[in-house]
Each structure stands twice: as C-alpha cells, then as structure tokens.
Structure 1
Amino acid sequence: MIQLQDFYREAKGRYGLRLLTGTAGLTHEFTWVHLCEDIGNVSFLRGGELVITTGLSALREHWLEDFLAALLRRRAAALILNIGKYLRESDIPKELVERAAAAHFPLFLMPWSTHISDVMQDACAQLLEQAQAEKEEERLLALLASPAPLHAGEPAVVVRGEDAAPMMSPSWLDADTAPTVVLSARQKHALDELADRSFALGRYVLARFSFGGKGIAETEQAPLRLKWRRLLNRLGLRYWLFFEPDSLLLLLELAPRGKDAAAPTSTPSLSAANVTPAALLPQLLAAVPSGISADAVHGGASRPHTALSMLPAAHREAAAACLAAQAAATPFRAFDDLGPMRLLATHPDRALLSELANEQLGVLRRYDLRHHAQLTETLRAYLQTGGSLQQTAEATFTHRNTVNYRIHKIKELTGCELQDAGERFALLFAYEIASWLSLSSRPRP
C-alpha cells in the first residue's frame, strides 16, 4: 500500500493533480485505483481504494453528494474528480467539500487533459511493486521472529545480539558479556536476507495481541489491518503487522519516522515521540472486529531492543507478557513489568523448571492428593506473610490452630525448619516456577 501523500507528491506535477480538501487524510494508504461512474458499483469496493470519476452521472441531482456518502460508507481512501467535460469545479457544492474535510477524506481535482489510463497504470504498477516488497519484508521478519523449534538435523547458528542491557555499568559491556542469540538456519537465512535488502531498524518493541483464543478470519484481516495502519500512519511511525494463527504481531520502531511526519489528528494525546503499544491500545481496540469482545483482547510488549537479531527474543518476551495479561484479566502488560517472572518466561528448558519446582513442592503435592489436604496452599501463604500464623490463617480462611498443625506437618515432610533465608527463597521460587508452568501450559480461552 502507498500513502496518499507520497502519491500526491509526484502526481501533482506529473498529472496536474490538485488537493481540494482532506489534508488530514493524506496519511491514509490506498490499496488499488478504481474508475467508477455508476454509484451502484460502489458496493463492490472492499475499502482503501483510490477512486477516479469523470462525473458522467453528475447530471442527476445530488449525484455527487450521494456518491461521496457511498464512498465513505465503503471506507474508500480518496476521490479524484476529473474536471472538464462532465464536471466543473463550480459544480462541487461547498457542503460536500466540508463533509469530506470533516471525514478526513481527500478530494483531488484532475484536469480533463490528463489521461486516466496513465494515472491508473502508473499507480497500479507502484502498488504492485510496493505490495511485493512489503510482503517479502514481512515474511522475512515473521520467519526471523518465529519461535518454531529446530528441525531434525538442522544446524543452530550463534550470532551476537548486540543489545546493551540498560542497567549494566559500562565496565560490564564487553565482548564476553554482550548477549548472544541462537538462531535456526531458517532464522539466520532471514536475517541475512534482510541485511542484503539493506533493511534497517532503529530501537523497537514487538507487541503481541491475542483475541480470546479466536483467530482472525481472513475476511476480517484486511479491514483490521487497514484500520490499524491508518492510526499508525497518522502518527508517522515505522511499523510492520503480521498475523499468527490466533494473534496479531506489531513490530514498532520507537523512533519517529522523520521531522516531516504528519501530526496526529484524532489522537491528540499521542505523538511519534511518546507512542508505545500500551498508549495505542484504546485506538487499536476500537478496530477489533465486531464478533470479538474488546474484553477478550489482551496484549503484551517486549522490552525495547536495538539489534534485529534480538527479534526472536522479543517474540518470546511479547508472548510472555501477553500471557500474563490474560492471566491477570488486564488489557495489556509489558515484559519489564513481570518482575522475576521474566527469567521463567524466557527460560528454554521447561523440564528443568518442572524438576526444580518438584524438588521443593512435590512431597507436599503428593500428600495433599492422597489426604485431600491443603499443605501446599498453606505453606505459600505462610511464606508470603513472613511466617505469621495469624496472617496465614486469615489469608487461608483457616483457624490459627489448624495452620499451626499444618506448618508442623510441612516441616516434618520437607525436613525444612522454614527459618533459613535460603530455604525460604528456594520454596518461594518453586511456587513462582509452578505458577508460570501452570499458566503457560493452560489451554487458551
């Protein structure tokens, strides 16, 4: 897709195109160029088209007003009026111009001497070239970010991550401590292909949005993508969108696109300088298909990264943050807000994590299953309250004497006196591991 402002920049000199109104909509993208003379054919538009008309039917009263209303209903991108034989500029009502301006819908005037076929052929060629380039770019980015496991016999490649941890002192940032990334051969190929295409990306985050366990139907993907792109274009951002089976990924460059980036129109509180996925969430949710409740949409964002090779790590972080948002029934979580859970969320060896949790809690779980007891729950509350019998009783809705009996039984089974700081840490850490393993393996709603 091409932004109208980019098309207009060239077309106003080459084809004599003139903008009558709708400056605020120039950041919109158009998906195709469509010549339309019959208002009845507007129903075939899918949204995002740049429409051209000579006004052949304009002899009918109010035709132009009805034509504009139909284009707005079908979410067309803009309208070019071919002025001369059937339409004169004086035929365009002031009220129509005002309505187009209010809808941020660009109206262009084009002289009769311009050949419509030239405009259509030129614009369509640009669209096809741009669409092919964007599709290949998104394919490579999606492949690089993909968490798919290695195929049998596929070699792994270690590359330098190049990200600098923000909390490290300068003396720590040497070659021995700089992060490394393990990529599959497929991911490394995608990374090399992007480098060959001179693809450059500044500081970025990756956000993942899930839709209540429902996939976005193919018929709904294009309208959703178009709405999100319009919002992001208004802010002058660089971004990439790609769908996964049950989610949508947004790769967002945090730096502004440039000094000439268009100012936001309907989102005055946002600007390219302060935008984040969390700040965009209210506007993004407004574009969710009607069949999906906004309450079922959850999002999560990775930490900021600078190296493209860190995109797989960003994907794991975004997925973990999104999962945490689902668990907490909150719209959005950032990976940096997960605290110590970040270590568990990105640890590749789930078997090892399960083993660590079982070493500490297995004996209590087995006892609870055999005796229908609640030792595991009681110990967690006891540790979280700093060893207070009274607070544990209140937290578990249990009598203090019952809690005291359970703690004695726990000490007997585990061999821990629950006084040593190391023992307490190991047990609390085991609970965190168990919580994460349960959350990350739970079927999505």
Structure 2
Amino acid sequence: MAILLRDLYKETKSTYGLDLIAGEEGLDHLMNWVYISEDPDTLEFLHGGELIITTGVLCGNEYWLYNFIKGLIEHKTCGLIINIGGHLNRSDISDRIRMLCDRKHYPLFLMPWETRIFDITHDYYNRIFDDTQTSQAISTALSRVILHPNDKALMEISLPVLYEHGFQADAQYHLVYISDLRDTASMKPTAAQTNTSIQQSEHSTISSGYANTAGSFLQNLLTRLVRIYNLPYTFVNGTDYTLLISPARSNERLEQELTRLLYYMGESAGTTSMYIGISAPTKDLIGLSQAFLQGRCAALMAQKKNSSLFFFDDMGFYKLLLSVSDMDVLREYVNDTLGSIITYDEQHHTNYLETLYQYLLCDGSIQKIAGALFCHRNTVNYRVRILREDLHLALDDPSTRFELMTAFQVHSYLDLFS
C-alpha cells in the first residue's frame, strides 16, 4: 500500500520543520518511498510515487532547479523536500518554480538545514514499512478467509490477525468485486470456480497488486480516493481484480459511494473501464467466502448489462441457481426441457427457440410476439402451431410454461458462466 502525503505532512511537519510553499492541491498524492536525489541523471531509476529529498548540492542556477523539478514531475514523483540553508536558500525558489508546482499540483516543501536527513528518511521508511506490513497481513488474512474458509489451520492464524485490526467474527460485511475491463476473459469463472467451495490457489489468485501498469495505475488511484474520502474499505488485490471489504451498509449508501469513486476515477483516468459487483451482506466474517462468489457473479451481470455496477440482491432467479454446485444438473435440465427445440432449429435452420421464449414473455399474445420478432402475425401463428403439434409442447398448461421459462433462465445463467 502507500501513505497519503497529506497525512504524512500533517503528522510530521512540526517534527522536521516542513514548510509547504507550493503545490498544495497535490497533497492527496500517495507516497510509497523516499528517495534522496542530487543528480537529474538518476531520475531514470524512479518508478513513480517517491517523495524526493535534495540539498541542491549540484545546483548551479535557477534554471537547473526548475528543470530538476520538471523532471521529477514527469517521472510522477509525489513531491519534493528541499533542505535549505546549506547549498540552497529560500530566495533560490523563484516565482517561476512556485508557479510550476502550483500548476502541476506538485507539493514543494522546504526543510531547515538543521533537520537531519537521516532522521526524516528513517522515520518515513519505518512508516512505509509498518503500513505495508499491516496492509499485507490484513490482505493475506482476508484472502485466506475468502478462499479457504474450511481450512482450520489457516483460520487459526488468520482470524486473530483480523480481530486485532478491528474485524468482528459476528459482524456483517459487504464485498465489492472490481474487475478491469481489459481482462474480462479471466473474469469469467469456470464451472469449478462457480462451486461455492471456490477451490482456487491462494498464491495464484491473490497477489500484492495488479500485474499490468494500467491496472496498477487504476488500483493506486482507487486507493488514493478511498483514503481521501475516509471510506471504511479494506483492500484485497488479485491479479485481475480488486476486492473492497467494508462493514455492511445500505445498498443506497454503497451505490452512492461507489458511484462517486467511479466518477472521480473517470475524471482522472479518462475512463473507468471497470465492472463492479456488490455482494449481499454476509451473516458473519466467514461469510466473505460466499460473498466473493456473489460479488464476482454480480460483476459479470454488470458486464452483461453494460452497467458500471450491479448488486447481487438484484440478480433475481440467478440467486437461487448459485446454490447449485453441480453445473451438470443444470445443463441436463436445459437439455431435457429445451433440447428437442434446439435440435429442431439446428436441423431445419429455424428459430423456434426464440419464438417460444417470446411466447412465454408475451403471455401468448400473438400481436406482442409479432412485434418483438418483427414478423407477421401469420408467421407467429404458424410457428406456435409447430411448437404445439410437432414439438408437442402443452403451451396452455401453466406448469409446462413455468418449466420452460425456468429452463430459459437456467440456459441464460449457464451462458453467463461458460
């Protein structure tokens, strides 16, 4: 994880005499490392997110410092601390430099020469280490609860970690599943993954972050937004998704928070390009395992409906089907109920399956069916006769119509997860 620069400045400005002189709007950047640099040639070694400290020992003139800061901004560092009083003074920070930092929202701090660089870097390294260790411990413990709830040995070492950091055994939680559009193929679970046991490898599924640069950018942006708005979300990062775990709240509040996050991510990244699925509230902490499946299915439904987010509570009949662990049973039901019609269509190059579906949706109204299929009423009447007489469907029988519509729902469900 990373530390919000605003929090770091607030907590340490008195200790180290830090003075923010420009770029205040950039205090919501994340700081993931501290780097001492005196030479612009070393900027190529930066990865982004570093807080830079310099004494300006190689600074020859105002243009050198301006270009140095410009390079730091281009390499996406989060801010610069200038140790003044030795090689640089406050008067060396020109209006042109301040304007650059303000325009680019790049925090520029001054620190008195008396402050020892060792002290501030040692402090910041420890903060980063502690934050990373804590975040990793919680993420690992949550991933084990989610993926291996029946492994008693793992629960014995994971649950105490979560209890220590404020999680409660009997509390209710929501799981928010966020999938990146660029990897929707890996988003679809197989039949085995759809089983409520979720037999997956923890090592291959849960990792410290995204595997690609674009995903890492979005994940870091999401982390920053969650911390800025002080939202009660805990992160679990997968190779192709991010999970947010939060205490159970109303769906309305969750939708409001997540919609706001999507909006600001869209503003910053140009596009959200994500699907979000929100689980039903769990009964307890161990219920996060089932919530993971629910969130993933809801994200798939969001993808199918081309919607930014979708609640598991709104999945209707699919909620019942998720309790069926044997997908072959569902396939057999579809084949027993609709198989003869599917075979007939394949042999005769017809589309009676769609006609039957519209017949059920339109409650047998020939006019409505014709409108839905964009064909003549006589064509619909002919197809319905074939369904009744040749395919032997008792369309006037309520129980038959119920079984047929159920088969269509199961067929759609299987298509979603195939």
Same fold (TM over 0.5): yes
In the other structure, the counterpart of 2:394 is 417
Structure 1, unaligned runs of 5 or more: 149-156, 158-182, 257-271
Kept after mapping to 2: 8 A contact 1:32/1:50: yes
Instruction: Tell me which of the two structures has the higher relative contact order, counting C-alpha pairs closer than 8 angstroms and 6 or more residues apart.
Output: 2
In the other structure, the counterpart of 1:235 is 229
Give the alignment's Cα RMSD to 1 decimal: 3.2
In the other structure, the counterpart of 1:197 is 164
Instruction: Identify if the C-alpha distance between structure 1 residues 47 and 426 changes in structure 2 by more than 3 Å, giving closer, same or farther.
Output: same
Q: Write the letter of the residue equivalent to 2:141.
A: L
In the other structure, the counterpart of 2:198 is none
Length-normalised TM-score, structure 1: 0.76
2-structure distance, mates of 1:322, 1:388: 34
In the other structure, the counterpart of 1:280 is 261
Matched, 1:248 2:238: no
Please give the residue correspondences for 1:4-403 in structure 2 after superposition, counting only pairs within 5 Å.
Answer: 4-146=5-147, 183-185=150-152, 188-189=155-156, 192-200=159-167, 204-213=174-183, 217-245=211-239, 247-253=240-246, 275-285=256-266, 297-305=274-282, 307-345=284-322, 347-403=324-380
2-structure distance, mates of 1:417, 1:274: 44
Kept after mapping to 2: 8 A contact 1:207/1:299: yes
Tell me how far 1:306 sits from its aligned partner: 7.2
Q: Write the letter of the residue equivalent to 1:206.
A: V
2-structure distance, mates of 1:8, 1:412: 79
Q: Write the letter of the residue equivalent to 1:229.
A: T
Kept after mapping to 2: 8 A contact 1:28/1:234: no
Kept after mapping to 1: 8 A contact 2:32/2:49: yes
Tell me how far 1:347 sits from its aligned partner: 4.1
2-structure distance, mates of 1:47, 1:346: 45
2-structure distance, mates of 1:418, 1:304: 40
Structure 2, unaligned runs of 5 or more: 187-209
Q: Which moved more, 1:189-198 or 1:360-369?
A: 189-198
2-structure distance, mates of 1:2, 1:380: 54
Q: Which moved more, 1:408-417 or 1:132-141?
A: 408-417
Kept after mapping to 1: 8 A contact 2:175/2:292: no
Which one has the bigger helix percentage?
A: 2
For 2:165, what is the secondary structure of its paired residue? coil
For 1:353, what is the secondary structure of its paired residue? helix
2-structure distance, mates of 1:434, 1:77: 51
Kept after mapping to 2: 8 A contact 1:18/1:108: yes
Write the deviation string for residues 124-177 of structure 1: whole angstroms up to 9, x where unpaired. Answer: 12212221221222222233333x8xxxxxxxx6xxxxxxxxxxxxxxxxxxxx
Kept after mapping to 2: 8 A contact 1:317/1:346: no
For 1:212, what is the secondary structure of its paired residue? helix
Tell me how far 1:53 sits from its aligned partner: 0.8
In the other structure, the counterpart of 2:201 is none
Instruction: Identify if the C-alpha distance between structure 1 residues 223 and 380 changes in structure 2 by more than 3 Å, giving closer, same or farther.
Output: closer
In the other structure, the counterpart of 2:191 is none
Write the deviation string for residues 212-262 of structure 1: whole angstroms up to 9, x where unpaired. Answer: 3367644555434323322332222243444434x2213053799xxxxxx
Tell me how far 1:51 sits from its aligned partner: 0.6
Instruction: Identify if the C-alpha distance between structure 1 residues 71 and 238 changes in structure 2 by more than 3 Å, giving closer, same or farther.
Output: farther
Tell me how far 1:359 sits from its aligned partner: 3.3
Length-normalised TM-score, structure 2: 0.80
Kept after mapping to 2: 8 A contact 1:363/1:414: yes
Kept after mapping to 1: 8 A contact 2:302/2:309: yes
Percent identity, aligned pairs only? 32
